[in-house]
Structure 1
Amino acid sequence: MAYQPIENHAIIGDMHTVALVAIDGSIDWLCIPYFDSPSVFGSLLDDKKGGCFKIAPSEHHLSYKQFYWPGTNVLVTRFLSTQGAAELTDFMPVGSSENTGSHRFRLIRRLTAVRGTISFSLECRPAFNYAQDQHETELTTIGAVFSTEKLRLLLTTDKPLQISENGVVSKFTLREGQTCDFALVQLLPGSEWGVHLSSREAENLFRQTVCYWRNWIARCKYSGRWREMVYRSALTLKLLTFKPTGAIIAAPTTSLPEEIGGIRNWDYRFSWIRDSAFTIYAFMRLGFTEEAQSYMEFLSKVYRGFSRKNPPLQIMYGIDGRHELKEMELNHLDGYKGSRPVRVGNGAYQQLQLDIYGELLDAVYLCNKYGAPISFEEWLEVKHLIEWVCENWQLEDEGIWEVRGKKRHFIYSKLMCWVALDRGMRLAEKRSFPADISRWRKIRNEIYTFIMEKGWNAKQKAFVQSYGSEALDASILMMPLVFFISPVDPMMLSTLQAIMRSSHEGGLLANNLVYRYNFRKTDDGLAGKEGTFNICTFWLVEALARAGQYQPQLLEEAHLLFERMLGFANHVGLYAEEIGFSGEALGNFPQALTHLSLISAAYNLNKVLEAKGG
């Protein structure tokens, strides 16, 4: 089978794992039972060995449509052919079943012939443990069982199956109005095969799942412009939440390339500290205080007891809070369209990135302000983190972009150290917590002076990536967003102008999309290139919107930029990490940080537009 474009996928999930479903009805990526488990279907990373689960009409000349059942994460794929029309409804049950106290993976695929009589083909070819483990396939009276030593899966169906190589296949026909149901279920140790999923049971699970998602999104308090896109981003973030711990993964995939055929392929199935403040802010703004609090509890468990280590925090953790995320290369897989190596684990967890302290402290501050106030015990842990920043803010680090070259004095890292001290001081004063406020204020002022003097480049007339550099960096757009500088300070406006120059003229803009930095002036320790970064474009929108409160022409620029950026979402409103030269999605998909920044940009741009009567 040929590789589908990355953007030709949607996701379904149960807050333990997700599946990527292509527009042609093929499940091209699925890890069972959890986000970071080895893949069972991985044709996204190797179209021959990776494994897939496809249901589609047998006719070759088809057109496809794909959409979510309104207000849910239940996916509908519509097939249109000369024989008629059919719909495939995919979902992972959530709702009343999740209160049983134990988790068992289940995926339901409901196929209906809407018009005409249609012939279908099914192929289910699992490839366990990233296509490394052999498995046995056994036909039963209700379907087929796929077994390895570590994992057993049951595919139930009332259609006849045949064993074919490493999986099963089937050909069958449905007449207009007929529906058949397929269930892929994890068999827990000691469990029996059970019975085939009846049509009534499938319908009940469908209704429960639809009801769950509609009830959840009904809690959203956002009522501004672009509501549909904001809702879709919120639903996506909920899917990327690991229910047992509250952790949110950066993306559910690994090694989708930032350049087709390149080596910039990373595993994003972990929880980054960096995402914390963005997550808390987005959930709080939308009214999802429970999700924000759950994520904060996950973060507090991560740093509690480790605040006296040196350094006290890693940049990322496993979804269960584990610390070691050893990076390995799976050389037996070809990678997406030949993009190698395929990596699992992420060696960047050992990097020093000072910005995470500011992002964590901002998250703590926001949760204390809008959610549950932090305890004194938590404050003591937080205070140790702040003291560590006081002692170490002058270190060089790998920075927000996780460069694999030499360490530097990244200005964004210093900015977020300033945020750590600023939020720590505000929190201490608000709650009257014991703290050495005068020392913190002195060091906060030192960091401010360092940024204004060492981060400014007179030649570029802009704040730059690192001390002594001439390279522009989109992370500088965060300065007004964290209230470090006025959005209309002349130095910030000049920086905006520099960033908004074309990339061919030394800026970071290409087709109104933003690169994270200029490759000609930045050595990140890696070969190749990449696309524009979606989060950076949304940062630019928000920076322009904040400046637009005082300068109307910049508000108009922000509005147009945001509307254009919405046009780069895929057919169901999802974004990968990057956008390529021809508008294609690049990098892991979908990316949480992109959807978080979309929510933030939409909220703040709408707020300014309403204030201006626009």
Structure 2
Amino acid sequence: MSDLPIGQHALLSDRHSAAVVTSDGCVAWLCLPRFDSESVFASILDDDGGHWWIRPAEPTSVERAYVDGSMVLRSTYRTGSGSVELVEALELPAPADPHRIGVDAPHTLLRVLRCTGGSIDLEMEFRPRPGYGTVVAHLDPVPGGLVATGGGETLTLSTTVPCVIAGGTATARFRMHDGDEIALAMQFQDAGSPPSPPYAAGRIITAIDTTVTAWRDWSDLHQTYQGPWRDLVHHSGRVLKALSYQPTGAIVAAATTSLPEVVGGARNWDYRYSWVRDASFTMRALWVAACPHEANDFFGFIASAGAAALPRGHLQIMYGVGGERDLTERTVPHWAGWRGSAPVRIGNGAWNQPQLDVYGELLDAAALLADQLAPFPPDLRDFLSSLADAAAAHWNEPDHGIWEIRGAPRHYLFSKLMCWVALDRAAALADRLGLHDRVDGWRGTADRIRDAILADGWNPRVGAFTQSFGSDHLDASALMIPLVGLLPPDDPRVRSTVDAITAHLIDDHGLVRRYLAGPDVDRLPGTEGSFLLCTFWLARVLADDDRVPEARDAFERAIAHINDVGLLAEEVDSGTGEQLGNFPQAFSHVGLVNAAWAISLAEERAATRPASRGMPRRARRWRRV
């Protein structure tokens, strides 16, 4: 099993699939041809999952960075005798329209080695294990490389390096001298397609350059944010784009499955699907970069995938990237999991949970992106109005909440809050929806939901809004109350909730937990790490309350855990400070973008505030548990 820290991985994407590569030259996760396809390489979860590593044969140091403005990774390895640069990418052709980056991606992994000094011995091992490790591929040498077949798929490895083939594995050892260049590629073909001929070295190098250009052209069109932490915001925008599925506009929650929320625990989930909630929040983050094509693609995907479900009851909370509805969960019993964190899960059992918050997240995104979506086509108008009607009809029912807790449904505060958002935003969109006659009804129901939240969601014993009606448990999702506008950030109940969360949900690293996990709360054994998104939420609330020093402090505590190539997982181990959970996580990068934007606005307000209004509030130190 792999024990390399999650933070020592990096992401490659062609907007159809993603590769996760390690700091020591291993492709440790790759599913083809889609994010949620069966894996070809999966050594991040088990030694028998397959891998493709290229690394120096002797001890080495490494420095990694993405090529500026792109998701092309450059790693420089140095040994006592020389240095070598490894440039890696999932190939992107040059699109006719830079907005449509990823169109006609050929499902090809590119790897180029350049010796940049001295001489260096390298080793390579190519060990594909398709079908979640159940297939030992058969390898045949061909001119210019080799062909791997098995599991109904074909992989063509392009290489001029002589390989030894044995037991479904190709190995090589070779020396490079200063100025030498070796280009390799792995092409994927679906079942029934003939093997593709190997790429020539020149074609691989050209493909790398084209891929860099494709990413930069997209970045130049969209990376307009100029506030604090500009480079991190721009990079997070590219990460979110990399987690989107070009053919449909779906956005996956993360590139991986079953990277755990606690080492050795069972809180291991498959995140390679498109959650309505996550994608809606992602659209809000991409709005900072003004992405009209992304907004239209995403709403087209959700309207197509989700509209059919509403007449039958609730909107489904997640879909496959092609719009698939049945995401039945199973385990992979022959895999040990990362650091022994089993079970490894494929599919996600939460797919058929009722979760009422999705109506509000979609309508909130639609309200924010209304100008980019304009004019609303008839099918989108019908879909959005049906979401408001569903929120009005179901808001008083129990559900499983934002965290998809696997127990009996409850009256979760966040779900009620987002039903209020759904009706509030629908009323604001009435002109665009052409439904003025529904406004009074929507607003009347929104008022009833608000009254219920203020009466039953507030717990005077705790001094905070709590996880569910009548509960004593704190939950960081209550921070969304001011962020969606139910109450202002300076409301005494909001400030008291912030104080309670900072007193009881913050760990030794200054990061916010979602809630205090345990069987009595979420029906699962063990605990979990601290949640980066929730820490960014705290930063946003503080910024909106013009507590800028505190907001900056919270933001800096979160970004202190970014890895060397600017990526965040879902959580952070409250003891060790290591990244935990699936990687990279869209939610975390969404939180980063939105918190930076909120702090930017707060600093603009502070800069224009008349001196007579007094000094900003004194920053209060965060308190450790």
- TM-score interval, normalised by the smaller of the two chains: over 0.9
Q: Give the superposition deviation at 1:133.
A: 2.1
The answer to whether the 8 A contact 2:73-2:87 is kept is yes
Code of the residue aligned with 1:353 in structure 2: it is: Q
Deviation digits for residues 391-449 of structure 1 (CA, Å, limit 9, x no counterpart): 21111111000001121111111000100110111111455424422222221111000
Q: Which residue of 2 aligns with 1:6?
A: 6
For 2:64, which of 66, 71, 74 is the aligned residue?
Answer: 66
Deviation digits for residues 183-220 of structure 1 (CA, Å, limit 9, x no counterpart): 10113566555554333222221221111111111122
1:39 equivalent in alignment to 2:33? no
Q: Which residue of 1 aligns with 2:80?
A: 82
- Kindly tell me: are residues 522 and 473 of structure 1, through their superposed partners in 2, closer, same or farther at Cα, counting changes over 3 Å? farther
Q: Which residue of 2 aligns with 1:270?
A: 273
1:566 equivalent in alignment to 2:559? yes
Aligned to 1:340, what secondary structure does the other structure show? coil
Aligned to 1:418, what secondary structure does the other structure show? helix
Alignment of 1:314-333 (within 5 A): 314-333=316-335
Alignment of 1:242-261 (within 5 A): 242-261=245-264
For 2:206 and 2:174, the matched residues in 1 are separated by 25
For 1:241, which of 216, 241, 244 is the aligned residue?
Answer: 244
For 2:216, which of 193, 209, 214 is the aligned residue?
Answer: 214
Q: Which residue of 1 aligns with 2:621?
A: none
The answer to whether the 8 A contact 1:242-1:248 is kept is yes
- Kindly tell me: are residues 31 and 439 of structure 1, through their superposed partners in 2, closer, same or farther at Cα, counting changes over 3 Å? same
Deviation digits for residues 446-480 of structure 1 (CA, Å, limit 9, x no counterpart): 10000001011111111111111111100010111
- Kindly tell me: are residues 129 and 149 of structure 1, through their superposed partners in 2, closer, same or farther at Cα, counting changes over 3 Å? closer
For 2:173 and 2:555, the matched residues in 1 are separated by 46
For 1:286, which of 289, 292, 298 is the aligned residue?
Answer: 289
For 1:585 and 1:439, the matched residues in 2 are separated by 46
State the Cα RMSD in Å: 1.8
Alignment of 1:596-607 (within 5 A): 596-607=590-601
Alignment of 1:32-431 (within 5 A): 32-46=32-46, 48-59=47-58, 61-96=59-94, 102-188=104-190, 193=195, 195-219=197-221, 220-311=223-314, 313-429=315-431
Code of the residue aligned with 1:526 in structure 2: it is: L
Q: Give the superposition deviation at 1:134.
A: 3.4
For 2:2 and 2:433, the matched residues in 1 are separated by 59
The answer to whether the 8 A contact 1:472-1:508 is kept is no
The answer to whether the 8 A contact 1:477-1:539 is kept is yes
Code of the residue aligned with 1:262 in structure 2: it is: G
Q: Give the superposition deviation at 1:317.
A: 0.5
Q: Which residue of 2 aligns with 1:542?
A: 540
Give % identity: 39
Code of the residue aligned with 2:569 in structure 1: it is: A
Aligned to 2:182, what secondary structure does the other structure show? strand
The answer to whether the 8 A contact 1:304-1:378 is kept is no
The answer to whether the 8 A contact 1:508-1:518 is kept is no
Aligned to 1:516, what secondary structure does the other structure show? coil
Q: Give the superposition deviation at 1:222.
A: 0.5
The answer to whether the 8 A contact 1:464-1:476 is kept is yes
Code of the residue aligned with 2:607 in structure 1: it is: G
For 2:526, which of 521, 525, 528 is the aligned residue?
Answer: 528
Code of the residue aligned with 1:134 in structure 2: it is: V
Deviation digits for residues 569-597 of structure 1 (CA, Å, limit 9, x no counterpart): 01111000000021101000000111111
Code of the residue aligned with 1:563 in structure 2: it is: E
1:610 equivalent in alignment to 2:610? no
For 1:590, which of 584, 592, 595 is the aligned residue?
Answer: 584
For 1:97 and 1:453, the matched residues in 2 are separated by 54
Q: Give the superposition deviation at 1:516.
A: 0.2
Unaligned 5+ runs, structure 1: 549-553
Deviation digits for residues 220-262 of structure 1 (CA, Å, limit 9, x no counterpart): 2111111110011011111111000010000010000111110
For 1:358 and 1:434, the matched residues in 2 are separated by 19
For 2:450, which of 448, 453, 461 is the aligned residue?
Answer: 448
For 1:509 and 1:118, the matched residues in 2 are separated by 45
For 2:499 and 2:266, the matched residues in 1 are separated by 32
Deviation digits for residues 160-189 of structure 1 (CA, Å, limit 9, x no counterpart): 011132210001111110000111011356
- Kindly tell me: are residues 256 and 331 of structure 1, through their superposed partners in 2, closer, same or farther at Cα, counting changes over 3 Å? same
Q: Which residue of 2 aligns with 1:465?
A: 467
Segment drifting more, 376-385 vs 559-568: 376-385
Q: Which residue of 2 aligns with 1:576?
A: 569
The answer to whether the 8 A contact 2:92-2:106 is kept is no
Segment drifting more, 101-110 vs 313-322: 101-110
- Kindly tell me: are residues 189 and 344 of structure 1, through their superposed partners in 2, closer, same or farther at Cα, counting changes over 3 Å? closer
Q: Give the superposition deviation at 1:102.
A: 4.7
The answer to whether the 8 A contact 1:33-1:104 is kept is no
For 2:382 and 2:2, the matched residues in 1 are separated by 55
The answer to whether the 8 A contact 1:277-1:360 is kept is yes
Code of the residue aligned with 2:582 in structure 1: it is: N
Q: Give the superposition deviation at 1:388.
A: 2.1
Q: Give the superposition deviation at 1:521.
A: 9.1
For 1:95 and 1:102, the matched residues in 2 are separated by 7
The answer to whether the 8 A contact 1:43-1:50 is kept is yes
Q: Give the superposition deviation at 1:567.
A: 1.3
For 2:144 and 2:243, the matched residues in 1 are separated by 32
For 1:163 and 1:63, the matched residues in 2 are separated by 29
- Kindly tell me: are residues 464 and 114 of structure 1, through their superposed partners in 2, closer, same or farther at Cα, counting changes over 3 Å? same
Q: Which residue of 2 aligns with 1:551?
A: none
Aligned to 2:607, what secondary structure does the other structure show? coil
For 2:418 and 2:2, the matched residues in 1 are separated by 44
The answer to whether the 8 A contact 2:144-2:200 is kept is no
Segment drifting more, 188-197 vs 516-525: 188-197
With normalisation by structure 1, the TM-score equals: 0.95
Code of the residue aligned with 2:578 in structure 1: it is: E
Code of the residue aligned with 2:599 in structure 1: it is: L
For 1:210 and 1:290, the matched residues in 2 are separated by 21
Q: Which residue of 2 aligns with 1:498?
A: 500
Q: Which residue of 2 aligns with 1:29?
A: 29
- Kindly tell me: are residues 39 and 435 of structure 1, through their superposed partners in 2, closer, same or farther at Cα, counting changes over 3 Å? farther
Aligned to 2:525, what secondary structure does the other structure show? coil
